[in-house]
Structures are given as C-alpha cells and as structure tokens.
Amino acid sequence: MNLQAILNHALFQNLGWTLAHSAWQLAAIALLYGAANASMRRASSQARYCAACLALLAMLALPAGTFLALDSSGAPAQTPARAPATDYSAPAPANGASGASGASVKSHARPGEALDGGEAGAPLRLWAEERFAKLLPWLALAWMACVAFLLARLAGGWLLNRRVRREADEASQLHGYAGALARLRARLGVARAVRLCRSALVEVPTVVGWLRPVVLVPACALTGLSAAQLEAVIAHELAHVRRHDYLVNLLQSFVETLLFYHPAVWYVSRRARAEREHACDDLAVEATGDVLVYARALAELEQLRRQPSSQVSRLALAASGGSLVQRVQRLLKLQPARTAPRAPAAAALVAAAALAFALAGAQGAVASRAADARGRARVAKPEAAARRRVAVTFVALPMVNTSYTPRAEKDMRKLLASLRAHDVSAVGFVNAAQLYKDGVQDESRVDLLRMWLDAGMELGSEGFSHPNLYGTPLEDFKQDVQRGEYVTSQLAAERGARLRYFSYPFLNVGPDRVTKEAFERFLAGRGMRVHKVTIDNWDWLFGRAYADARRAGDDETMRRVADEYVPYMERVFDFYEQLSRDTLGYEPPQVLMLTANALNCAKFDELAAMLKRRGYEFVTLDEAMRDKAYRQPDTYTGSWGISWLQRWAMARGADFRDEPPLPPYMQQFDTYSKKWQSVNAEKK
C-alpha cells in the first residue's frame, strides 16, 4: 500500500479534521480559563490550580470526543457535503442505453438545469475547500511524527528519572534528617514512606517517583542552606508527595505532548505548574510555621541554580519550579510588577488568533453549505445526515478491463484489504464469461472469486454473457442466467452458501411489464432476489479510461482520471440523497453499484473516506433491502437502465430527473458510451 492510499484512510481524514477543529476548540477553552482565572484572583492557589487542571482535561477530552464522533459518524458537523458548483453540461443523449461494463449509461444534465444555484465565487471556494481537505491527512501525518518524537523524548526523561532514583541507594540516604522527615510527614499527613537521599545529579531538592517517592537533596543544599531552611524546602517536596503531583505532572506532560502545536495549551499548562508550586509553598509554610525562613530558603535556591547542572527531566518536581522571585514576593505579600492581569489578556489574544485561523480554514466549507442551502445544489440536510447507511456492491467480477496477469490478483488483494479496513461486507456479481479464456475455464480467474469468498464477501449472479433483457428473448435470457451460475454456485456451495442475488445486466429489466414479471418469478423460484441499485453512476467509464491509460503507460491520464473520480461520486451522492428525500420523504439505506476494476481497487479507501465524511456507515445488502423503500411499486420497463430511486419516483408520476453529468475532462472518453448507443440504436 502506497503512502497516498494510507493517507486516504478514514483514520487520517478524521484525525486531520480533529486537529483542524482543535484550533478553535482549545482556543475557546483557553479563553474561558483566562476569564475564570482573572475572576479567581483572590481565590486560593489550590482553587486556581484545579481550574487549570480542569482546563487541560477539557483540552484533551474535546478533541478526543471530536475524533470519536467523526470515527463513528464519519461526518463532522462543520464539514458540509460538497455540492457541485460548476455546470458540467453537455448535450443529452438520445436514450439511456448501457455501457458494456455492467453499469447503466447515464444521460447528461441539460445546461444550467442540474447544477444551478451556484455563485460567482464558487469555483475559487471549491478549489480552496478541496485543497484544505487534501492537506488534512498530511497535517495528521506530520502531527503523528512530531508526537512520536516527543513521546520518545518523554520516555527518555522517564528512564532518566528511574536511573536517578535507582542511584539513590541506602548509602546516600540522609539518616541524620530522619527525625525531621518523620515530623514533617506527620504535619503534612503523608502516609507513604518517603526516602531522603543525597544526589549529585540534581541542583536543588527534587522529588522523584509516585508510588515509592524519593526526595533528592544536592550536596550544595546541605552546605548552602541552614537546617531550618532545608527542612522548609523538604516540606515543599513532601507537599508534592501528599498531593500526588508527580503523577499529575506526568499526565500533564502527556497532554502537552499530544497538543504540542497549540499555544493555548502551553499557556494553561504553565499556569497549572505555577499554581501547583504556589499551593505547595502554602503547605510548606503551614508545616514549618515561618514564612521568612522559607522565603530565604527559596532565595538561596535561586543562587544555587544559576549554573544549572541537573540531569533529571521535567517529570521530576523540584523546589525551584516556577519563578522563585515571584514566589518569594507572593509569600511576603510584596507588590510585584502587575504581570498577572496581562496573562489572561495575552492568552485571549493567542486564543483569538488561533480561533481566527481555524475559522479562516473552514470559511470556504461553511460558505459552501450556506450557498448550497439557498440554491438547488442538492446538499443533504443535517437531520438527514444524522445516520446514513450504504451497502456496497460490485458488478463485472472477477475483474473487468484487465488482462488477468498477476496485476489482477494484486488489484483484487488491494480491494479486499480496503473493504476489510472499512468493515465493508460486499456482494460481488459475476460476469461468468470472464472466467473463460478461449472457451476453457481459466483457474487463475476463478481463484480471484475464491479470494473474494475467503475474505468473507458474497457472490451474486449477472448471467454468463451479460445480455441485455431488453433485446434478448426471455427464454434465451433464462438459459444464460443458468449457465452463468455453473461455476459460482459451486464455489458458494463449497463454503456452505448459495447465490441469493441477481443483478440485471445494464440494470435493464426488460421491454415490458410481462417480461419483467415473468423473469422475476423465475428468479424467485431459484431463491434469488433482484439487486436493486439506488446509487447508479458512470464509474465504469472512469474505470475504462483508467485501464486504457494503464495499459498504455500513460501515468498522467491515470492520475487525472483518478483525481476526477471521487469528487464526481460525491456529486452523485448529493443527487440521489436529494432524490430520496423528494420521492420517499427520507433517505433509505442506499445500494451503491461499483464496477470491479483497477480504478475502484486503487481509490476505494478515498471513496470510503468521502462516504464516512458524509455520515455513512456501511451495511450489508440484506440490511439495506430490508428497508420499506425496497417494497415500493416498480413498474418501469424500457430501454434505459436506471436507478431504482428513479423508478420509484416515476411510479409516483414524476419525470425522469437528469443525473450529474461527467466532469469536462472525462467527456473526451464518452465515445465509449456513444459508440455503444449507436450500435444499440441500429439494432432497434
């Protein structure tokens, strides 16, 4: 799997949107915290510390909730289903005759009819929106790389602290201070055993560990501080132990690692550390009873740390944390330069800048939704997108437009891997004539069907030679269907299954109602149901152009065709979602018909990501067709092979609705369908 296929996976799409939304989410939390912190100026340090910790917790929880919501629904609320804004119009064909791949040939929209309601800036807006969406997976990849590096650094710091803690052995313990340590533990209510050790690896007293904490004291502190001052500093470290600050600091560092990119996180985290030190200062003063001694001890520590040599990581908690000058001024209730009131304002400016950045990135998407809601661009309503379902089916198995070299097996493996990755249980309809080469059954082609079944997928039938019932006598058509089941029914039986679905070639149900009903009675007698397709499309034409370019070694055409494909499919879904609501009053579980070709093998990950972004979850064909919509009257017959949504609408007296046309670039390849139509017209 190449890098682009990996980036097209729903994980990267959802993660990218989560990071984009986190820009304004974290900024909003920082704004709220800044306002709360300003209003709590007279509150205790512990209260302000709790407020900062709650803000950090919210900063972690909100993006996590966003990611989970995207992962379960596939559609962020701020991400509209993009409607086409460019009129890809072309002359309407004479009829809806079908293409040779098994998907019905579609009629072009009349100029200005299917895609009206756009606005002057729509092309630029859509260009910006698509580029923004394409950048999101790369943003997610960059974030993952940075987090991996920062986690490695965090793990290194944790290992370093473990080494420091291991070196604090019995010989380094300060037994002379055992009485003072016990007395301070009793005053502070520290029940756990705490060791007090000398260490050459720290420059100021530091606590390391949570379950079995160790207070490390440098030799310079033993000589540079008086006994009373040293006891006051040790009381500060014991306050950290009592409050479980080592564990909280570890979790705080983890939050900083995940959200490293946002200045609001660093602002709140810095305030949490400062308030934590203030709270421990208060407990230390309460335990020793002499604020002047403790203030002088902090001043001495400031001198001791002017030439840093500490080897412990920031996971450890030192008495020198934060601004010692400000801590001394606070303890002595002096009036320092009033920097605190500016901190919330600075945070507000940073947060506002981040919020503006996020809104600017999403502006195109939001504007698109508003414009499309005013026009006739057929965008799904939010309430309709609450829970969308789609069953994925493939026609023309084992693989159309291929030479059945090892490349076909590679394509099939890639497709199956993508289906499994997105938890798709698909039905594949077999064009049995493709299983033969020069009249002899080709086992390499049959093996592709075995791979399909072994992956947990289901097989269906579309006959042997893929005949069109409109121009084929009914009895001949029945014989072709029976012949087409010879190999596939055996393969299914080997796995304890049977063929349950039949897909009309070209979606053509016959020339008249009598023929249609007679054939469907024949199917029912064989225990088979009709494959009722609601999302019909031109994917076969894209696939044919892609395959021709691949055979010719034309990488540029392959790329252009592939780039046009998923945006076109999104316009198709826009159309059928609106047709569903107009015809049925709701969106039923859709049945998507795709062609088994190299293009769908290469692009299914991206197609699935688009569907999840629109709010779809994948269901089986059985689940989809249990919906009441599939029991709607279906009286249409004729030369066109069309979606069942069109049939249901026409049964209610509506006219055939023109479907999304091909993009301009793809219209050059429409000679395939035009040639087929001319041949069909001559036959008629």
Q: Specify which of 143-157, 195-209, 353-367, 569-583 reaches the highest per-range mean pLDDT.
A: 569-583
**pLDDT value, residue 198:** 77
Q: Which two tokens stand for residue 540?
A: 């076969």
Average pLDDT over every residue of 248-271: 90
Question: How does pLDDT run across 500-553, given as a tens digit for each residue?
Answer: 999 999 999 999 999 999 999 999 999 999 999 999 999 999 999 999 999 999
> Which one is predicted more confidently, 12 or 563?
563
Query: Is the pLDDT confidence value at 50 over 50?
Result: yes
Tokens of 286: 């309460």
Instruction: Answer whether residue 99 shows pLDDT above 90.
Output: no
pLDDT of the residue at 603: 96
Instruction: Out of 157-166, 230-239, 355-364, 656-665, pick the least confident.
Output: 355-364
Long-range contacts of 169-177 (CB under 8 A, 24+ apart): 169/197, 172/197, 172/198, 172/199, 173/197, 173/198, 174/198, 174/217, 174/222, 177/230, 177/231, 177/234
State the pLDDT confidence band at 298, using cuts at 50, 70 and 90. confident
Please give, one letter per residue, the 3-state secondary structure of 311-346. CCCCCCEECCCCCHHHHHHHHCCCCCCCCCCHHHHH
Which has more pLDDT, 681 or 566? 566
* pLDDT at 119 > cutoff 50: no
Instruction: Output Rg (C-alpha) for the chain, integer angstroms.
Output: 34
Model confidence pLDDT, tens digit, residues 559-603: 999 999 999 999 999 999 999 999 999 999 999 999 999 999 999
Q: How far apart are CA 539 and CA 504, in angstroms?
A: 17
Across the range 67-77, mean pLDDT stands at 60
Residue 127: the pLDDT is: 55
d(CA 419, CA 416): 5
Residue 219, C-beta contacts closer than 8 angstroms, at least 6 positions apart: 198, 200
Q: Which helix (H) or strand (E) holds 240?
A: helix 227-242
Least confident of 403-407, 461-465, 633-637: 403-407
Mean pLDDT of 301-305: 68
Q: State yes or no: pLDDT of 52 exceeds 70.
A: yes
Query: H helices within 40-121, ranges in order?
Result: 45-73
- State residue 343's pLDDT score: 47
Decide if pLDDT at 223 tops 70.
Answer: yes
Q: Is the pLDDT of residue 110 over 80?
A: no
Q: Give the pLDDT score at 371.
A: 40
115 has pLDDT over 70: no
Judged by average pLDDT, the poorest of 116-130, 283-297, 408-422, 579-593 is 116-130
Among 43-57, 129-143, 191-205, top mean pLDDT goes to 43-57
What is the average per-residue pLDDT within 1-13? 68
Per-residue three-class SS string for 471-513: CCCHHHHHHHHHHHHHHHHHHHHHCCCCCCEECCHHHCCCCCH
The predicted pLDDT at position 676 comes to 45
Q: How confident is the model at residue 177 (pLDDT cuts 50, 70, 90)?
A: confident
| Minimum mean pLDDT range among 251-255, 308-312, 580-584 | 308-312
Give the pLDDT band of residue 169 (cuts 50, 70, 90): low
Lowest mean pLDDT among 132-146, 414-428, 613-627: 132-146
SS3 440: strand
Q: Is the pLDDT of residue 190 over 80?
A: yes
The larger pLDDT score, comparing residue 162 to residue 656, is at 656
For residue 168, the model assigns a pLDDT of 60
The span from the CA of 128 to the CA of 149, in Å, is 31
pLDDT digits (tens, 9 = 90+) for 356-365: 544 444 444 4
Give the pLDDT mean for 352-359: 50
Higher pLDDT, 139 or 6: 139
φ, ψ (nearest 5 deg) of residue 308: -65, 135
Give mean pLDDT, residues 185-205.
79
Q: How far is CA 239 from the centre of its chain?
A: 43
Give the C-alpha distances (Å, rounded to integers) separating 76 from 25, 278, 355, 362: 14, 41, 17, 12
> Where is mean pLDDT largest: 71-80, 194-203, 294-303, 610-619?
610-619
Nearest Cα to 646, choosing from 509, 524, 466, 473?
A: 509
* Alpha-carbon distances of 175 from 99, 170, 196, 498, 667, rounded to whole Å: 90, 9, 8, 81, 88
25: left (phi > 0), else alpha (psi -120 to 50), else beta? alpha
pLDDT at residue 186, as a whole number:
84
Q: What value does the mean pLDDT of the chain take? A: 79
pLDDT at 630 over 50: yes
Selection from 439, 437, 434 nearest residue 449 by Cα: 434
